[in-house]
Amino acid sequence: MADDTTRPNTEAARDDEAAPSEDQDYLFRAQVAGTEFILRYWKYGVYAVGGVLVAAFAWGTYDSWSTQRREDQFGAVAAVAYKMPAVDQMALYGLAPKDDPADTARTANLLEGAKRFLAAAASSNGSAAVYAYLEAADAFTRVGDVPAARKAIEAAVGVGAPDLAQFPADAQWATILANEGAHTEAEAFLRGMAGRYTGFFAQEALLRLASLQVDQGKLAEAKTTIDELYTRFPSPSRPESVASLAARVGSTPAPAAAAGG
């Protein structure tokens, strides 16, 4: 009888051991669901991966093409610059003119170079275009064609290249306006530069604006400009120049700028 009594309990215990636990059941269901999901949607995964690969390939192709295009543009400008008549070394120290006006062959070469620079600028964009226009302006200046040089610089201003390339063109344009007596336009242009540029270039724009205002006797406006410069840039990149101009208009340096000086 004892054997008959214990046998059912033993079999029940074995059945409990053989039956899957609740955790195992959940794991099994999750595996089945995961398998079903993969089998059902694997094509979409392939599409997604393929889309990423296609996008990466397209971006790589564009980046390579864009880099090559920039190199070609700068190469075209450099090819013209290489053939330009060299400037006399004495001219670099202000001891001689860059070019002899009586040398007609040299003048013709400079004019031809200027035209080629303009052609290179027209077929370029960004920094390369600005560089080409400025080189054309320099060539026109060397032969005394001021209107053509002005037009080339104005074209460079309209390119809209990154700060490092664009600033020289903008700065020259502001100087042209000031030299022509268009002080209001020059001030407005410099004010626009101060808002458009950041860092060193914005400081330079404000410093040039203040200097122009001082030259016109607008000391109150110049003081406001210098105060703005100190507020935006407590430690200017050119502290001596800023401090010298500030002393002329009675502007007080910001504490950080005063400590740095």
Full-model pTM: 0.71
Split at pLDDT 50, 70, 90, the class of 27 is low
Residue 259: per-residue pLDDT: 47
- Write the CB contacts of 141 (distance below 8 Å, at least 6 apart in sequence): 149
Which tens digits make up the pLDDT trace of 73-117?
778 888 888 888 888 777 778 778 888 888 899 999 999 999 999
Residue 206 in tokens: 């404000």
Q: Looking at residue 96, what is its pLDDT?
A: 80
User: What is the SS3 assignment for 64-117?
Assistant: HHHHHHHHHHHHHHHHHHHCCCCCCHHHHHCCCCCCCCCCHHHHHHHHHHHHHH
pLDDT for the residue numbered 77: 84
Q: For the segment 191-209, what is each residue's pLDDT rounded down to a tens digit?
A: 999 999 999 999 999 999 9
pLDDT digits (tens, 9 = 90+) for 39-74: 666 555 555 555 555 555 454 554 565 577 667 877
Q: Is 94 left (phi over 0), alpha (psi -120 to 50) or beta?
A: left
CA 85, CA 121: separation in Å to the nearest integer?
20
